[in-house]
Chains A and B, each alone.
Chain A
Amino acid sequence: MSEPGIQYPETDDEVARIVSEACANRRPIEIRGGGTKRGYGRPLQVASALSVEKLSGITNYDPSELVMAARAGTPLEEIEAALALNKQMLTFEPMDHRPLLGASGVPTIGGVFAGNISGPRRISAGAARDSLLGVRFVNGSGEIIKSGGRVMKNVTGLDLVKLMAGSWGTLGVLCEVIFKVLPRPETMATIVVKGLNDAQAAEAMAAAMGMSVEVSGAAHLPESVVHKIADGALKGGPATVLRLEGLEPSVAVRRERLVEEMHRRGEVSVLDADATTSVWRDIRDVKPFAGASAGVSVKPVWRVSVAPSAGHQLVAALRLKTGVDAFFDWQGGLVWLQMEADPEADLVRKYIKALGGGHATLVRADAATRAAVPVFEPQPAALEALTKRIKEQFDPRAILNPGRMSSAV
């Protein structure tokens, strides 16, 4: 698995040494985990790389504490298997980018947190960053820094933990992450409402989320994508899906109440736990837009985050101007857009702004496009300047994944 030009440190000290040398020589390095998200962000212009693959293994896990610590290169599969043995899970349900990006490799826990990768349960249980309790990382000067701890509540100093989540390796090389885990739900069910258009679905999802039934996932699959979910289990018109999880008796009560409410809006059916698992896995992994394989030209895909009530309005506005396919997670607040040809960055971002704000990330596009179009949302001048100052305080010589998030960061 070793490639030339890549260094594979096995200890934090080795990471620190490699980064120190790179800093001294002003030699930028690419920071890699399992490599499944290398196609995310602006293409890097670097000659050398540091892989955390060999920084691997769970370092601390007592299921009754609901906390796990693992080295950054630990495969996500290993983490999830250890949790499953104890009937626990990562609450934020991280997406697997491989189907969408056509990537190979193995997702690592460090990569998940570096990208703040969250799935459908983000609407109810928070993002990856909400689960991250502590980190140890090497900054761009080669210093080993720790922040946070292995406790649920902590306000000791500045929360650098949050800052590391979603910084895509531009502030430091994650060596170890400590995160909250939760019991796996005893059972789950999905209420499917058929036949709603995007606007009706947005209303239905808002109503469901406003009830005290604790919906843990709320997505809408328009007709153009629904047949690609769970091997066509939901096909035949658009489907709005609402997930319930928890103890058996509790889910039974809540299911009844939710079905009663949704009956007024459309034809309702209920999926059992197994069907629920496959439907939500496909939504999580953006299965409707999968199919890319390495080297094959693919349609651009955006990940858009807006207020839940604005998602369907954005898509309606775009449809009048350009060819776009879409589906909605997070009650409509997470919009996955597949563009016909051109990513239409200006148009997408113009409408997001007009609809009250949010941001768009170009998750899939060829390298030339990702070099030309701002992949991450451009920031207002004041925030961009602040972001740049923060970057400088972690990585004064700009050697860690330089330019991955923007030309400045």
Chain B
Amino acid sequence: MTDLIAFLEPSRSVIDRRPTIIADLAELLPEGCLITEERELVPFDTDAFVSYRRMPLAVVLPETTAQVAAVMKYCNDNAIPVIPRGAGTSLSGGAIPQEDAVVIGVSKMNQIVEVDYPNRTAVVQAGVTNISISQSVDADGFFYAPDPSSQLACTIGGNIGMNSGGAHCLKYGVTTNNLLGVKMVMFDGSIVEIGGKALDSAGYDLLGLICGSEGQLGIVTEATVRLLAKPEGARPVLFGFESSVAAGACVTEIIGSGIIPVAIEFMDKPAIEICEAFAQAGYPMDVEALLIVEVEGSDAEMDAMLARIIEIARKHAVKTIKESQSATEAALIWKGRKSAFGATGRIADYICMDGTVPLGQLSHVLEKTSEIIDHYGLRVANVFHAGDGNMHPLILFDANDPEESMKAEMAGNDILKLCVDAGGCLTGEHGVGIEKRDLMRHQYTDADLAQQMRVRAAFDPQWILNPSKVFPLERRNGSQPGDPVPDAAAAPGKTAA
């Protein structure tokens, strides 16, 4: 564990009140919905950003929106921080608790409330896993499009918090593009409904603001999501290239030619080796980079599209072309890619970065990433969504070596700054969490950040909700001389509290 990232000093007055708070929470919830024993709290002390851990004050697992509202109101009235939690798969520490906070987990709210095929919508509770939405409508020929790598485990509530994406987002967009409505508990326990089955909603786009707000604006307990008709078929093709530059240029030309495949995934040589050793997917070992390009549709459509894509790949001296001839082969191609994180975890500790760059900058950023990694004497495997410029360098290190751990974090920070400097963003789909919180100033000016923080205060005047995430800590108490600091306590929202 390193300590590059600071946590807020927990409030002694809250911690001292723990017995009372626990007794009060027990009053608000049915049996079995409150966790207070240290042994049982341990699984909640971190999320998938495991370098950092903090024990929460208590964990509540409500069964209804009304119970979430009761707990939220209680916490707001008593100035107790609240950490919303889905399945805890956040890679940026978005659900890591703090010692003076109550975790509100939505895992018991896991029902699919309604499926409406004529309108192609599903109403689901926040604790429903991403994959189970698609599974529940699969037999009828529908699916829910956003497919984060953690889709077996992650919840729709967490997906909304992080605006999650996935490999197929090139064509289908991310969560925000597939979300029609939410039921949400506000800071004071009031329940609001925003959007619904209509394609757009009235007034300001609050839905767009809530999606990706990392649990800072409210706790979503129910969502209306879009369902799509499943394509007739899907076919991935592997392309092996002599260099990353050639693979990158091929991506640019495919997109520029007017073809939007459903996914374009990129792996460099270290990633190919790691994944092949684990999955035996039949990846070519004599290439420096490979692309997995997937197209969808009827056989005739896929043939037509692939013929064009293959023609483009040939212009970039492609060394290997492997078309999947069966569902088994297609699954194997994806198995290699989808096991990248797990397979990497077998050979080393790693941190997965998540910067996004304009497509034209891919080659430049890959080259510079290598230089940064060399500078710190580490290793990196690159595997990412090339079609939308969302890079995932996996920085390999030894977590038992404090110095190397520190170097890995520093290299990660340098890579993210590189992404921003190349015209991109700190995070494409993992969120800021605590991981990238202190880098926010690299992407945004003081005025930009202050504007965001004022909006946040309009939703949560006391900064109760997931308070130590997303925004640099020093910006919230007015301690920086000359800063146009948003004074949460003086925010107009306070009057409505």
Chain A interface residues toward B at CB < 8 A: 62-67, 87-88, 116, 118, 122-123, 126-127, 129-130, 139, 143-163, 165-167, 171, 182-184, 186, 202-203, 206, 209-212, 214, 246-250, 252-254, 257, 305-310, 330, 333-334, 356-359, 361, 376-377, 379-380, 382-383, 385-387, 389-390, 392-394, 396, 405, 409
Contacts and interface: CB of A to CB of B under 8 A. Distances in A.
A209 B443 CA distance: 40
Interface string B194-211: 101111111111111101
B497 to A, nearest CB: 10
10 contacts: A149-B443, A150-B424, A155-B214, A155-B427, A163-B204, A206-B117, A250-B297, A257-B298, A389-B496, A390-B204
Contacts of B423: 149-151
Q: Report which residue of A139, A149, A154, A377 has the largest number of chain B beta carbons within 10 angstroms of its beta carbon.
A: A154
A153 B428 contact: yes
A248 B203 CA distance: 40
A214 B457 CA distance: 42
A147 B205 CA distance: 15
B489 interface: no
B444 A146 contact: yes
A214 B231 CA distance: 8
B467 interface: no
Interface stretch (B25-33, B250-258, B327-335): B250-258
State the 10 A-B residue pairs at the shortest beta-carbon distance, nearest first. A162-B208, A64-B256, A307-B197, A183-B258, A359-B202, A377-B202, A152-B388, A153-B428, A393-B454, A389-B458
B492 A393 contact: yes
Given A67-B358, A157-B440, 12 more contacts: A149-B425, A153-B169, A153-B390, A157-B432, A159-B209, A209-B120, A212-B231, A247-B301, A257-B298, A307-B198, A386-B186, A389-B491
Given A66-B255, A158-B455, A253-B300, A153 B201 contact: no
Contacts of A156: 425-427, 432, 436, 440, 443-444
A392 B493 CA distance: 9
A382 B186 contact: yes
A159 B196 contact: no
Given A156-B425, A160-B451, A210 B141 contact: yes
Interface string B228-239: 011110000000
B91 to A, nearest CB: 12
A250 B306 CA distance: 12
Given A64-B360, A122-B199, A206-B118, A212 B451 contact: no
For chain B, the bracket of interface size reads 35 or more
Interface in B177-234: 177, 186, 190, 192, 194, 196-209, 211-214, 216, 229-232
B89 interface: no
Interface in B452-497: 452, 454-459, 470-471, 484, 491-493, 496
B389 A151 contact: yes
Given A159-B208, A249-B301, A393-B451, A359 B360 contact: no
Interface string B245-289: 000000011011111100000000000000000000000000000
B212 A159 contact: yes
B447 A144 contact: yes
A82 to B, nearest CB: 15
A162 B205 contact: yes
